[in-house]
Structure 1
Amino acid sequence: MSAILNEPFVDAHQHFWNLDLHPYPWLQGETVPNFRYGDYSALRRNYLPGDYARDTARCPPAMTVHIEAEWAREDPVAETRWLMEVAEAHGRPTVVVGHAQLDRENVAEVLAGHAASPRMRGIRNKPATVARREDARRGARGSMDDAQWRRGYALLERHGMSFDLQAPWWHLDQAADLARDFPRTQLILNHTGLPADRSEAGLQAWRDAMSRLAREPNVAVKISGLGQPGRAWTQEDNVPVIRDAIDIFGPERCMFASNYPVDSLVASYDTILAGFLAAIDRYGPSQRRGLLHDNAVRIYRMA
């Protein structure tokens, strides 16, 4: 079986979990409300380096970024310690983004615990958001506007940590203000800003929100999470969205990311990577290399 890509690339967003040994409430009894792909029961199984190797057999990445997988919040540093063991044994992940609840009193202690791990690069904390655009309000407790949450965010710079943001596009005005107010902290938008509404009006509103965020130079975006519930992942649906995101942020600030195994609910790894390759076929070798490899290496400090 031939490879679908014969040049090195980085997967900037992947997950491992071992449900036999470790606590992941969302996979072990709890249910995520409004999960964007609907039924996710197929994820309630172990997903470890061997599983990832199987899924990427035709397209193994050179390096990967492990994003926190919602380990039980009582001890998020334990997830990072476990991932250090996994990396030593299997060579993956290359670097890690951990979790810290930025508005908790112990956030400084948690960040220091993460920082003790040499592969640690940043934090993901999902701020308070709403599921519908019409319900979006500024200033909510636990949101990117919250003063206490921002005090925790300010501590990232002390450790040289980046911030991975997962939020619907109707909250990106908050993200733009956050990036502007903390210009020395790299902010990395997850899952292409979640353009779930594919109507023309919905996509235009997403593009407008992304354009506002892109004005802040310390923001990058990961191209991932583009599946739609109950619908096959197709290039017809997703290549235009990928190209819009790259046009808005520029090819120097975008990265390929699989979101595996979560996006296995909507597509094979090969399908997602092939769609990204189709979207970037109009770029020259240098920009293509950046989109596939060099941007992630730079932004996540992997060299």
Structure 2
Amino acid sequence: MVRLRERLRPGSALDRDDIQQLQFGGVTFENGRCYLQIIDAHQHLWDTAELSYPWLEGFDALRQRYGPEDYRAAFEGIDIARSVHIEADPAPGAEVAEVDRLVRIAAEDGMIGAIVPTAPLESEGREKTLERLAADYPMVVGIRRMAWHHEDPSFYSWPSLIEGVKALPKYGYTFELCANVTQLDAAVTLVRATPDVTHAINHCGGPDIAADGFAPWADYMNQLAGCPNTVCKISGLVTRAKENWTADDLRPYIDHLIDIFGFDRVMYGSDWPVCTLAATYRAWFETLVAAVESVSEEDRRKLFHDNARRFYKLG
């Protein structure tokens, strides 16, 4: 048996030239293929020829079509059973159009098991959008309203936004909380003001890993983990680290999240294709697998499969 950590080059895929099989804790990599059924709790698809995504203007490397066939090619060799599609921040007014497109893709491809769109929760017209989503799109299980790109770091503490989030349980929806470390103070306010809403924290709360910003991030995440209505996706770390990141750069953040949330409240997410700005799908996946190589099979399955299946009602 070869320990995965001994064969993992930080920031890259496994060296398969001289290795036929790796196995630890019930996870097997054989001839480059992973045998552990996974639910990817955070992936995106988009086509700029069909819908507008204004934020992509600042990311030339991502300004292209990403379809289901590209996603499947990215995780080749990893047993992704289902995925959860998280909205890709389309132009205002295109929220329902994005869902409609994804429902068609899901019907044809079969990978997407649940959809989380955006909606103008801070606006007076939010109920109209929520009612249409609930009536016409049973695959929708929650709403994400991003603070990440918002010009106001206090966006999540706006009274109008909080009122919109409070409306979600009426439709059986959860909330995807997407904020970076500069916005987590407002995120804490939001979570505490909406105890009846379950919040899925995206991308580990956006720590500034490149600047070694562990302490302020950890303090906010401790506060969020102390709220029983939160879960956390372990995703998005590679794009918050420096360009030549290593597994050791990410490990303290992963360990801290598992410590404060426990294995019952964490989920794996790839953040594909955004992750490709800093790593391949496989490089990030294998980095996380290596970080939890010593845990029990039960806990590993919670992280990579069971929690997401339950949270997103995947059956």
Please indicate the TM-score interval, normalised by the length of the shorter structure.
0.7 to 0.9
Q: Does 1:23 align with 2:52?
A: yes
User: 1:176: Cα distance to partner?
Assistant: 2.6
Q: Which residue of 2 aligns with 1:34?
A: none
What CA deviation, in whole Å up to 9, does each residue of 1:47-76 have, x standing for no partner? 000001111111141110101011221131
User: 1:128: Cα distance to partner?
Assistant: 7.4
Q: Which residue of 2 aligns with 1:252?
A: 264
Q: Which residue of 2 aligns with 1:13?
A: 42
User: RMSD over aligned Cα, in angstroms?
Assistant: 2.0
Match of 1:47 among 66, 89, 94: 66
- The amino acid that maps onto 1:206 is W
- The amino acid that maps onto 2:310 is R
Q: Does 1:118 align with 2:138?
A: yes
Q: How far apart in 2 are the matches of 1:289 and 1:220?
A: 16
Q: How far apart in 2 are the matches of 1:175 and 1:184?
A: 15
Relative to structure 1, is the Cα distance of residues 245 and 42 closer, same or farther in structure 2, using a 3 angstrom cutoff? same
Q: Does 1:264 align with 2:252?
A: no
Q: Which residue of 1 aligns with 2:11?
A: none
Q: Does 1:96 align with 2:125?
A: no
Gaps of 5+ in 1: 32-39
| Alignment check: 8 A CA contact 1:255 1:293 kept | yes
Q: Which residue of 2 aligns with 1:232?
A: 244
User: 1:234: Cα distance to partner?
Assistant: 2.4
Match of 1:155 among 158, 167, 174: 167
- The amino acid that maps onto 1:209 is Y
Match of 1:223 among 234, 237, 246: 234
Q: How far apart in 1 are the matches of 2:79 and 2:62?
A: 21
More strand by share: 2
- The amino acid that maps onto 1:105 is E
Relative to structure 1, is the Cα distance of residues 94 and 156 closer, same or farther in structure 2, using a 3 angstrom cutoff? same
Q: Which residue of 2 aligns with 1:280?
A: 292
Q: Does 1:213 align with 2:233?
A: no
| Alignment check: 8 A CA contact 2:209 2:242 kept | no
Aligned residues: 284
Q: Does 1:193 align with 2:199?
A: no
- The amino acid that maps onto 2:214 is L
